[in-house]
Structure 1
Amino acid sequence: MMPLATVAALSAALLALMAQASVIGDDGRQTADREALPLASIGSLLDLDSGALCTASIVADDLLLTPAHCALRAATDADCAWPRTRSDCREPGALSLRDLRFVPADDHQIAPADKFAHSRRIDRVVAHGAASADYRQQRHNDWALLQLAEPLAVQRHPPLRVAVPDYATIGGTALAMPGYSADRYYRDGNPVADVACTLGFVAAPVSLIEHDCDSTAGASGSPILIRDGDGGWSLIGLHSDGPDPRYARSRNGEHRNYGTPSSAFWPALMQLQRQRSLQPPQATDSRR
């Protein structure tokens, strides 16, 4: 594995080349306001093998939500070797967890070299969307729930509220999308946000969120947030992909970005919460 400093340097250089890929018109990104947005509930996700950068949201004290393309890769022979033997590693289409580290938002103000020392290890993939050869179906299924090796303190990192799938998907609804962009990540560590973008919704043949929030490489997984009735924020989906000349995606001549809607991962998240609530409490030692 490359030294972490080398990974960081390569990431900054390579991702910066892609920086404008998903900026639509004028760049509306600005340094995210920690008082106005739930930044304590997000963080950056680093792939130590490739140096790739993504964004992840905290949805439980030990669970992260991020795109599948940020978390999984095609299995290799090394994944089948001891001590990581998996029964399905040689099956066609088998996927393996990337070598990931999560850096919560509060830890981004330290020196870049120290970020890795303060990063949290990802233990396993709990659930993820099914792979598909169809582009839109793949974007719909582009989600993964990851379990941290150790839980976070919820007082410092409160889980984001995930909107139920029947939220109102009215075109033009105001959104906010905070996340980590490659062209800013290694410079000052601050998350950026577009708070002046709008929501669209593609209902057929595959449900997708359509939005015009500006983003760059690294923003994959940024939570797409909508205002609640109580003035807070709820996650209605994840940013998945930006404009791509191979796929027509425009409305009234304007390019749009795609997001994975909460309806895609809501069933798995609810099932997991039910399973956890049914688990008996752990035995404790009263002598401690």
Structure 2
Amino acid sequence: MTSPASRTGVGPLLRGWREQRRISQLELALRADSSARHISFVETGRARPSEEMILRLSEHLCVPVRERNTLLLAAGYAPRFTETALDDPSMAVVREGLERLLRGYEPYPALVVDGTYSVVAANRGLALILEGVPEHLLVEPVNAMRVILHPEGAAPRIRNFRQWRQHLLHQMNRQIALARSDELRALYEEVAAYPPPAGVDEEPYGAADPHEAAAFELGTFALPLRIEHGGQVLTFLSSISTFNTPMDVTVAELAIETFLPADPATAKYLTTALG
């Protein structure tokens, strides 16, 4: 039985990725040490690319690892990249490394998510700032976007909710463009339709509150997350890390997000709360 990808053929798929990246056949050929004529023949099905050519073109088109397997299958080749469950014994070194990293970052919040923002690991710092989120949003697998954007989740405590929501939706849109994931698209449509938490439209951003003024200053180089906990507003800057040159689909789709305290008061609060 042939897969839908193999029936479509690799040529139209490669052309779709090239057009999405807004790269001409000539530019792609120069990057991949080929010719525009050969690229044209591949895209129209007049030439069958080798495995190495598919992988080379995929690299220059920034095709996600999962989709590189799809391209190989469409050309009649076996997938090159495995997809190993994170709880598989062979992934022990990855799990242990991630857990060590999360523990080492405490008391500051950090988490690891997969390609659809399901949380696969988190530390005590994140658990602290998510205290009070209702159980129905914490049922496994916990989804980070649902927890943050749901009006019953963390959203009511995020002081710059409109800005943070816009940032997260933009981030998801960029990932959808890269990964072409139906599951991710469905998640985006779900969380984008959530109503804002009560009162968010009436709360001015950056008015008289000195903390808001500080947030604007931070926003000149990075948008802060400002979230209330225990009567205090905590301010964070976030960063996202991924694995270099992954050879497994699961590892390729993991992202580590860390939240750096953006002021001394936030750092002191977390250090005191978690010891």
TM-score w.r.t. length of structure 2: 0.20
Q: Which has the higher strand share?
A: 1
Q: Please identify which structure carries the higher helix content.
A: 2
Greater Rg by CA: 2
